[in-house]
Structure 1
Amino acid sequence: MRNVELICILSLLGLASDGQAAAPVPLVRYFPPPAPNAAVIVAMQRQSALALVGAITPEAIASIMRSAQPAARLQTLYIDSPGGDVASAIRLTEFLRSHKTRVIVAGRCFSACANFVFAGAVAKDVLPGSLVGIHGSTYTYYDGTTLRFAKAYDRAAMAQWRDKDVTVAPQVARLDDMQRQFYSARQLSLTYHDVFARYEIRRAALPSASACPDYLLWALDRPLLEGMGIKGLGAVWTPRNADEARSVAIDLGMSGPQIFFGSAARLDSTCRQDETLVDKLKSWVDALRALTGT
């Protein structure tokens, strides 16, 4: 546990003492987790606020629950996370909802962070220079002590898991059920996740030398977040265009071409064999930018 004064955290986030926002830097720069699948929990003295930096894991959730003051609600959770496992993210979300905690994205909120913590929080903000990103379904599995990942469409990986451990299929079915129950209970839509999953299937079916861009995440703007049915949106900063989204992604430690920023219709038309000439030109431009790093 790292304890810092609240004014220090606000300074790191690029906020002036009067609360006016400036361009923040991601929290991970100041509080790097000790390992890729670990997290740092930062307690802010004299305030009912915490920060989660890193992966959403059972250990991180347990630390947050221990750190929250028993006699007072946890008012704010700053988060900079690449994601984590579904069960832990849902457990964290339920805990935050019970405290009516405001979630403030200060860097990354990807994968399970976006799918559950951000989507389910009663109130949320996105600070300048931050991104909220989703992708298709990804399943996690412990091979001994090693955490493995596989996409839902990757039948070879899933088959390999089943050969090693007969509990994999029930685990995957349980995770699917948990996500759908979570979204149904909050009247949230999985439509955009399905759009990204269809893109991933098309991308995986193409030759490796294909001009189809290889996106890992879809950065969502406010209209898309509202389209998912997400409620409680406060001040939500989003990039002005795809170029700015790529620039922010690089600042957050990713490769710019790994981020898609645009409409559902455009993503749903990406990598189709029957693309229109305009769609093909857009794909070629994306591929060129990926090669040149622009």
Structure 2
Amino acid sequence: MFLTRFLKLFVLVAVGLFSYEAAAGVSIENRELVYEGPISAKNNERAITLYEAAVDKPSTLVITSGGGNVDLGMDLGEFILEHDLDVKVNTFCFSSCANYVFTAGKNKWLGENAILGWHGDAASAYWRDSDINAMVRHLEGEEKSKEWQELRQHYDDITRKSVVREKQFFKRISTDHALLTIGLSKDLVKAAVKQKARGWTVTPALLEKMGVSNIKFISSPWQPKNNPRFPLLILQ
């Protein structure tokens, strides 16, 4: 029961229903590629187009995002790896942003008050039976049953492919995949539900231990803090 409630919070976060989500927009400013808003196909395409068109190529991606689709997050992470970009988080990076964008940076810059958080891996982003029930509720009988089975198979296939891709991605960046699941233990999920936490964050020391290297600070050293507007468990 605790896990179900916890993952339900994740779904709300993933679609951007929180106050920290910035207005969507991608631009180049002062030789930095600035990416604000959800990770989406449109924003990714805009980022790639701007980068390719720039004569003086950006060396840093500055991102403010609550995340988005798992595979689109990995697309953006792979773009960062291919172009050897630094990643800078001034204020907020959660979900797919933290999973695949922050971890992909050549150097990973954090603002003093930045919120950096995780809530699960690709396997956590499964479609529940109740989600599929809602999709076919307008159908009846054999047609409903057939459509339900096809949708169940479709979303299970997507999840399986994303899980395989995610493991390959983390092998490529030499980072412990457990970073994406460390907060899903029974005790921590129970604590998160009790504290109404949306996920977890970790200290620089734990990030380094899990293979997230080259962490740098924009001004003063960053340490995760409890923020009442976006509560996260702090793991160390």
* TM range, smaller chain: 0.7 to 0.9
Summarize the Cα distance change of 1:97–1:156 in structure 2 as closer, same or farther, 3 Å threshold.
same
- One-letter amino acid of the structure 1 residue matched with residue 169 of structure 2: F
Give the TM-score normalised by structure 2.
0.73
Q: Which runs of 5+ in 2 are unaligned?
A: 1-18, 136-147
Aligned to 1:234: 216
Distance 1:200 1:179, change over 3 A: farther
Q: Which amino acid aligns with 1:190?
A: H
Q: 1:200 to 1:157 in 2, by over 3 A?
A: farther
What is the match of residue 111 of structure 1?
95
Q: How far, CA to CA, are the matches of 2:40 and 2:205 in structure 1?
A: 30
1:156/1:212 CA distance change after superposition, 3 Å: farther
Which has a greater percent of helix?
Answer: 2
Q: Structure 1: how far apart are the matches of 2:212 and 2:90?
A: 19
Deviations 1:192-249 (A, max 9, x none): 333212248953xx9xxx9833321212220121122012222274336xxxx223x5
* Code of the aligned partner of 1:67: L
Question: Could you list the runs of 5+ residues in structure 1 that have no partner in the other structure?
Answer: 1-27, 34-38, 140-149, 264-294
- Once the two structures are TM-superposed, the CA of residue 184 in structure 1 deviates from its matched residue by 1.5
The equivalent residue for 1:73 is 57
Partners of 2:54 and 2:103 in 1: CA distance? 25
The CA RMSD measured in Å over matched residues stands at 3.1
Amino acid at match of 1:66: T
TM-score (norm 1): 0.60
More strand by share: 1
Q: Equivalent of 1:191, from 162, 166, 178?
A: 178
Matched, 1:84 2:68: yes
Contact 1:49 1:76 survives alignment (8 Å): yes
Shift of 1:59: 0.6
C-alpha distance in structure 2 between counterparts of 1:70 and 1:108, whole Å: 26
Contact 1:43 1:50 in 2 (8 A): yes
How many residues align structurally?
A: 201
Q: 1:136 aligns with which of 116, 120, 123?
A: 120
Give the 3 Å change call, closer, same or farther, for CA 50–186 of structure 1 in structure 2: closer
Correspondences of 1:30-49 after superposition (within 5 Å): 32-33=22-23, 39-44=24-29, 47-49=30-32
Flag the 1:32–1:230 CA change in 2: closer, same or farther, 3 A. Answer: closer
Of the two, which has the highest radius of gyration? 1
Q: Does 1:222 align with 2:209?
A: no
Could you tell me which residue of structure 2 aligns to residue 63 of structure 1? 46
Deviations 1:109-149 (A, max 9, x none): 1111111111111111001110211112367xxxxxxxxxx
Verify the 8 A CA contact 2:68 2:96 in the aligned structure 1. Answer: yes
CA contact (8 A) 1:56 1:89 kept: yes
Shift in Å, 1:93: 1.7
Question: Aligned pair 1:123/2:107, yes or no?
Answer: yes
Give the aligned residue type for 2:34.
A
> Which residue pairs with 2:34 in the alignment?
51
Does 2:232 align with 1:259? yes
1:40 partner letter:
G
Q: Secondary structure at the match of 2:235?
A: coil
For 1:113, the aligned partner's letter is: C
Contact kept? 1:89, 1:112, Cα under 8 Å: yes
Aligned residues with identical type, % of pairs: 19
Question: Is 1:176 the counterpart of 2:163 in the alignment?
Answer: yes
Greater RCO (Cα-Cα under 8 Å, separation 6 or more): 2
